[in-house]
Amino acid sequence: MSNRKRVLVTGGAGFLGSHLCERLLSDGCDVLCVDNFYSGTKDNVTHLLENPHFELMRHDVTFPLYVEVDEIYNLACPASPIHYQRDPVQTTKTSVHGAINVLGLAKRTKARVFQASTSEVYGDPEVHPQQEGYWGRVNPIGIRSCYDEGKRCAETLFFDYHRQHDLEIKVVRIFNTYGPRMHPNDGRVVSNFIVQALRGEDITIYGDGSQTRSFCYVDDLIDGFVRMMASSKDMTGPVNLGNPGEFTIRELAEAVLKMVGGKSKLVMKPLPQDDPKQRQPDITLAKSVLGWKPQIKLEEGLGRTIDYFRKFVTS
């Protein structure tokens, strides 16, 4: 009888999910990858299909799932504005009904359950950098609310299940992450800039480019996931995971241009509604409790990401 840990990854065919499935397989786990392919794609996990310890299932987490597992990573939810605003009601349902369903599964199987929350729970913050104790400043009725408030409600459900049913929960708040397998048309700033530069198009900056973001390479983030899941029972989170190195959007655009080359120009467009002006994680808790901090510098990570996109994008 196998003593491999049985791990469910919802949203496992997405950008982050596919990297997590890879890491878990390399760690000796049996991995069940569940995805409805709304924003994820089979292409992200095709290379894993021949592994006998990997299984792919098409399923929507807004419906219950009946499987036997030891751990659950709940990553199911479109995470870029282009995708989550396309069907905002479904986005909220994915966060809220999805959380209820994975928590119910965890309760039945006594599995440890992990919630991939987001820095968006902080909204457009009045506190900088953002610490886990900050409650946030979120517009509850804006065009981003389906994602922001859906993720906030999911956190509420996780902590209520923990208090009411003594469930072992792990909640992380993910800050901007980038790397291979990002969707080329997901509207996220790193993929946008790289794709535009590779195509020789003008690079679109929303606002004046002075707004800041912190960019974490995907391998670093996934290492944080695994460390969090393995942490002691009383370490519920939430824990910020991200790179505290802060860059303006203009600095990122200029770095991408320099690395890709070409003659693209920077073009300014109006800032979208509720777009945060600053985003930077305080990772003091992750450092002290998980022994985690990002290792990969922006230039190295951008280089790997550009190499990935070169295979798919032609000028």
**Pairing mode, strands 212-214 and 246-248:** antiparallel
- DSSP result, 288-305: III-----S-HHHHHHHH
User: Is residue 7 predicted with pLDDT exceeding 80?
Assistant: yes
> Using alpha carbons only, what angle is made at residue 298 by residues 296 and 301, rounded to the nearest 5 degrees?
65
Taking a C-beta distance cutoff of 8 angstroms, is the pair 147, 275 a contact?
Answer: no
What number is the average pLDDT over the span 155-164?
A: 98
User: Is residue 275 predicted with pLDDT exceeding 70?
Assistant: no
Spell 282-294 as b/e; 16+ CB within 10 A means b. bbebbeeebebeb
Residue 81 pLDDT level (bands cut at 50, 70, 90)? confident
> Among residues 185, 171, 217, which one has the least CA distance to residue 81?
185
What number is the average pLDDT over the span 122-144?
A: 93
Backbone angles phi, psi at 81, to 5 degrees: -55, -40
Across the chain, mean pLDDT equals 93
User: Token pair 């655009």 is at which residue?
Assistant: 253
What number is the average pLDDT over the span 222-245?
A: 97
What residues are labeled active site? 147
Here the tokens at position 123 are: 């909204």
pLDDT (0 to 100) of residue 1 = 57
Residue 211 pLDDT level (bands cut at 50, 70, 90)? confident
Q: Hey, which of 165-174, 206-215, 305-314 has the most confident mean pLDDT? A: 165-174
Write down the architecture of domain 6-178+217-242+280-294 according to CATH. Answer: 3-Layer(aba) Sandwich (3.40)
Residue 186 pLDDT level (bands cut at 50, 70, 90)? confident
pLDDT (0 to 100) of residue 274 = 59
The pLDDT > 90 percentage for the chain reads: 80
